[in-house]
Structures are given as C-alpha cells and as structure tokens.
Structure 1
Amino acid sequence: MSSAKKRELLRDDKQGKIGGVCAGIANYFGWELWVVRIIAVTALILATKVTFVAYIVAWVVLDKEPKAKKSKSTYGKAGFDEDEQTIREETRIERTSDGRTIEVKTRVWEAGKAPHLAMDDIELEFSRMEKTLRNMETYVTSSEFQVLQEFKKL
C-alpha cells in the first residue's frame, strides 16, 4: 500500500477572486492559476448556463481550504510534488552567445530563452546580416564587379 497523502479538492478563498473555485482546482491539479481562470472564462463564454451552474455548485459543495494546510506559495511554479503538497519550480542552466550562464525556467510556455537574452541574440544576428549586406552592396557597386560583368558578356 502507498503511504502518499490523499489530495482534496478544496476552495481557496485567499487566492480566489470569486469563491476560490478556480484557485482550488489549480492547487489540486498543480496547474497555474491563470490557466484555470482562462479555461473557466472560455467555458463561460462557450457554455454560459452549464458553466455558471457548475461554478455555483462547486462554490457551494466544496469546502474551504484550512489556513494551516496552505504552503508558502503554491501558485506560479511548475511541477507538482504530491508528497509535499507544494509546487516546485524546475530550471535548467543555459549558456548565452556572449558566454554568460543563466538559469532558464522550464515551464511549457517559457521553454525558450529569457526575452532579454533572445533579443540580444537577435540583435547580434541582425548586425551580422547588415555587415554582410553592406559588403555585398560595396562589391556590386564597385568597378571590379562591372569589369567582371563585361567579361561575362564576351
């Protein structure tokens, strides 16, 4: 038999906006709170009556989360640890183009580089492309290019 703690679906009034149902669902499944809210609003738009009734029923049926059970911050991090009833953040080390090392979060929507580092890389690539383009323009407008074109016509 497993000695893992049983999770309960509870409302979280402290993190919730209206009744704490979305916050409770986010805490139960280990999801980001804003994702659950987007799903709830989308469901409310697409199936207004059913979603509204389901939300009210969940608000009435679900118990409030006791204050002693709450951890430091269960929202805004990726990865759910069932034993600790907390959510952990996972990061990886990545090296930038200029040799710096940084920690990059591994959330699904943050899988790439940090925005400022990605922008630095883009600027570097564009400056290289601009230099290449300038060299090409200089060559095409030179007299050497014109002489070579004349030889090709012969």
Structure 2
Amino acid sequence: MVERKRELRRDEKRGKVGGVCAGIANYFGWELWVIRIIAVTALILATKVTLVAYVIAWLVLDKESKKAKAASGHSEQAVREETRVERTADGRTIEVKTKVWEAGKLPHYALGDIENEFAVMEKSLRSIESYVTSSEFRVRHEINRL
C-alpha cells in the first residue's frame, strides 16, 4: 500500500475561525471536536501563547484546495460512502452508518435519529407485549394446541 504524503492545511469549509482546528483534525485523522476542545483548553490555560500560535497558523497555513480535499477523502462523496445498505429480518432495507461521526452528522442529530429508532421499536414492542398478555392470545394459543 502506497502511503500518500499528508499536508497540514486549513480547512475553512469545516472550520469556525479560519479552519486551523479543522486542518489539524484532517492532518492527524482525529475528530474535529477533540481538536476544538484541546484548543479551547489551551486557550484557557495559556491564553497568550495559544492565541499567538493560532494566529500564526492561520496566516502561515495554506487553504485546503478542492483537489487536495478530494485526495484526502474528506469530500461529500467520501461521507456518503460511510453508509451501507442492509436488510432487516422483516425485509426492510435500511442505511447503516459505519461510524456516525465520520458520516458527517453532528452528535445531537445522530442521537435524535437513535431516539426515533428506539421510539419506533418501543411502540412495536408494546404492541407485541399487549397482544401476548391479552386473553385473545391465550385463546388462540389454546385453539392452536388442539
């Protein structure tokens, strides 16, 4: 496998202030929120040094070009490739994201999707439970045993 040369560049599309944190996250392959937490913590603990280093990085680092972005795998197409289609036991097809945070969704949106899925499953489970505990189920079960 040929390993490509990584370059440290600013990613203004994913960045909030200049794209320095996003560029660092791309370079090391880390989650963007981790880099932001490190940057904010460094800003709190060593304000002047961190601020000067950030401004220097902002001025010195080149912007990430579209060509470099496509080569690094951070394009929208690469985000779509993080999903695969699977069939459930009841025959439905669903898209499964291999890693939600790499698929481009913010954590609170991903959590909302998960909560919705659990709500649907809970409704289905309640329906099954009410049927199994009903007298109709017992009667049908006894008739089937005959």
Deviations 1:42-71 (A, max 9, x none): 5545x35254444334334x4212535343
Counterpart of 1:86 in structure 2 is 73
On the 8 A contact 2:10/2:64 being kept in 1, the answer is: no
The one-letter code of the counterpart of 1:129 is E
For residues 3 and 132 of structure 1, the distance between their equivalents in structure 2, rounded to whole angstroms, comes to 58
Which of 87, 103, 114 lines up with 2:95 in the alignment? 103
For residues 66 and 92 of structure 2, the distance between their equivalents in structure 1, rounded to whole angstroms, comes to 42
On the 8 A contact 1:21/1:58 being kept in 2, the answer is: yes
Larger radius of gyration: 1
On the 8 A contact 2:86/2:93 being kept in 1, the answer is: yes
Deviations 1:90-146 (A, max 9, x none): 22333345420112111155899x5344432221012223344555xxxxxxxxxxx
Bigger mean CA deviation after superposition, 126-135 or 2-11:
126-135
TM-score (norm 1): 0.54
The one-letter code of the counterpart of 2:82 is E
For residues 52 and 105 of structure 1, the distance between their equivalents in structure 2, rounded to whole angstroms, comes to 37
- In structure 1, stretches of 5+ residues that fail to align are 73-83, 136-154
On the 8 A contact 1:13/1:64 being kept in 2, the answer is: no
- In structure 2, stretches of 5+ residues that fail to align are 104-109, 136-146
Q: CA RMSD in A?
A: 3.6
The one-letter code of the counterpart of 1:19 is G
| Larger relative contact order (CA 8 Å, sep ≥ 6) | 1
TM-score (norm 2): 0.56
* Amino-acid identity (%): 52
Counterpart of 1:56 in structure 2 is 55
Which of 63, 66, 74 lines up with 1:65 in the alignment? 63
More helix, by proportion: 2
